[in-house]
Amino acid sequence: MNTRLSIQGERFLINGMPTYSEIPDCAPEYHGLLMNARFVQGIFDDQANPERFVRFGANRWDPEANTQGLIESLPLWHRYGLRAFTVGLQGGMPVFTIENASIDNNPYADDGKAIDLAYLLRLSNLIRGADEAGMVVIVSLLYEGQVMRMKDGAAIRNAVCTAATWLGEQNFTNVIIEIANEYDIGNFRKRPQVSSPECMTALIEIARQAADGIPVAASGSGSHVDREVAESCDLILIHGNGTYKQRYYELIKLVRSWNLNKPIVCNEDSPLISQLDVAFDTYTSWGYYNNLTKQEPPVDWGFAGAEDMFFARRMARGLGIDIPCISSDQAYVLEGVQGRFMDSGKRWIRLASENPETIRRVVFLVNDRMIDLAYQEPFFVDYKETWIQGGTFLMPGDVVKAVVHLMNGKILERVAIAD
C-alpha cells in the first residue's frame, strides 16, 4: 500500500507526515486536516430493479463501470485537496428521484456472516484506487435505508464483525470504518442494536477488535453528537446537514469542550460550501455532500456541475493550492435547467457560486414569471433543507432566468433554455 493513514492527537498523517504539509503554500495550522466528500454510491447496485438506473444519458446500468468511474476521477479531486471520501456498503438514498425503500442495495447475507463478493471486489478495487491516488476511504457499514433488510440484531452485529474482519484481512492502510451513517435517524430508531449509544459503543468495539488497527467511528445526524459514542471512537464524526455557520460552530465547540484530543471530521454536510470557513477556523475537517450530483446513480464522479467545481476551488484556495483564477461572470452559474439531471420532466433549478456570501438574493423566473426567491446559500428553487430541494416541471424551450442581486448593489442575470 502507498497511502498509510495514522492519527496523532487531532491530526491525520499520511505516510508519517501531516496531511497537506507537502503543499508549499498551505498554512501550517491546516496541516493534519482531512477534507473529504460523500461519494457513498461508489459501489452501489440494486437487486430489485436495476433497469431504472439506465437514465441521465446512460445506455445501461453497470455497477463495475460506476466504481471504475469514481476511481478514474480521484486524481482530479486529489489535485484540488480532497484527501478522503465516504463510500457505503449499503449505499445511500437517491433522495431526489427514487424511494430508498424500493432499492435493494444490501450486500449482507441474512445472518450477516457473509457479504456479496461482487460488492467486496468493487470495494477492494476502489480502496486500492484511492491508495494509488493518495487518498483515504471512509467505509460506512450500515445505512438506515437498508438496515430493515437485515433479519435482526444478531445479523447486524455479525455484519459489522464480518465487514471489519474482511477490511482488516486485506491489510488496507488507507481506511476508516464508519459503523453507521447517522445511527440516530429513520429505520435505525427501530433497531436499538444500532441507535442506542450503549449498543453503538459495543459495535465500535466489535469492529475495532476485528479490523486490527483500522480507526473506527460512527456518525449521528446533522448537529447530533453523543459524548459516550465520541469517547469510544478513534475520531469524532459529525454531520452538518441543516446547519448554518453559527449552529455548525456551536456543534464543534460542544465537541471540543469534551477535551477528547481526537480529530473532528464532518463527513456529510451539503453543498453549503461556505461552511469551509468554519472548518478552517476551528481546525476541523469538512465533508461536501451534493445529493444531486453525487448520490443519484449513475453518478458522474468528476465535476458534474458548477457546485462540484466551486467546492473544489474553494477547498483548494483555503489549502493554498494554486488554481487558475476565474472571472466574475464564471463565478455565478444557473444550474439544473439543461443537461443530464431530469426526471419525469422535473428539473432542480439553483444558482451556484464560488463566493455565495456576495449574494443578497436570487430571483428565479420561468418565461418571465417569478417562481421563487432564494435568500441564503444554497440558492435553491423550492428550498427544503441545505441538502435538498423540490423539483420544477419545465417544458422544452422554457426560458429560465436567475436575477442575482449582489451585496455590492450590482445585479447579474443568468439565463438558460430547457432542453
Grid cell digits, residue 117 = 463478493
What pLDDT does residue 58 have?
Answer: 87
What pLDDT does residue 345 have?
Answer: 82
Spell out the alpha helix ranges (H) of 170-233: 192-195, 197-211, 227-232
What pLDDT does residue 106 have?
Answer: 97
What pLDDT does residue 56 have?
Answer: 86
Grid cell digits, residue 128 = 486500492
What pLDDT does residue 344 have?
Answer: 73
Would you say how long the chain is, in residues? 419
Domain 332-417 has CATH 3.30.450: no
- The helix or strand, by DSSP H or E, that contains position 372, with its residue range, turns out to be strand 369-374
CATH architecture of 5-318: Alpha-Beta Barrel (3.20)
Would you kindly state where each structural domain of the chain is located, as residue ranges?
5-318, 332-417
Residue reference for cell 456541475: 305
Distance of alpha carbon 16 from its chain centroid, rounded?
A: 26
Burial of 395 (0-12, 13-18, 19+ CB in 10 A): exposed
Residues 245 and 243: their CA atoms lie apart, in Å, by: 7
Taken in order 17, 19, 23, 24, the sign of the CA dihedral is negative
In this prediction, the residues of the chain whose per-residue pLDDT falls under 70 are: none
What pLDDT does residue 57 have?
Answer: 84
pLDDT tens profile 251-307: 999 999 999 999 999 999 999 999 999 999 999 999 999 999 999 999 999 999 999
Name the packing angle between helices 197-211 and 153-169 (round to 10°).
30
pLDDT tens profile 311-354: 999 999 999 999 999 988 899 999 999 877 777 789 999 999 99
DSSP string, 325-349: ---TTTTEEEESSSSS--BTTEE--
DSSP string, 60-113: S--HHHHHHHHHHHHHHHHHTT--EEEEETT----TTTS-GGG-----B-TTSS
On whether the CB atoms of residues 293 and 308 are closer than 8 A, the answer is yes
On whether the CB atoms of residues 66 and 298 are closer than 8 A, the answer is yes
On whether the CB atoms of residues 334 and 416 are closer than 8 A, the answer is yes
Grid cell digits, residue 257 = 469542550
DSSP string, 145-182: TTGGGS-SHHHHHHHHHHHHHHHHHTT-SSEEEEEEES
| pTM of the predicted model as reported, rounded to 2 decimal places | 0.97
What pLDDT does residue 227 have?
Answer: 98
Name the packing angle between helices 245-257 and 275-282 (round to 10°).
30
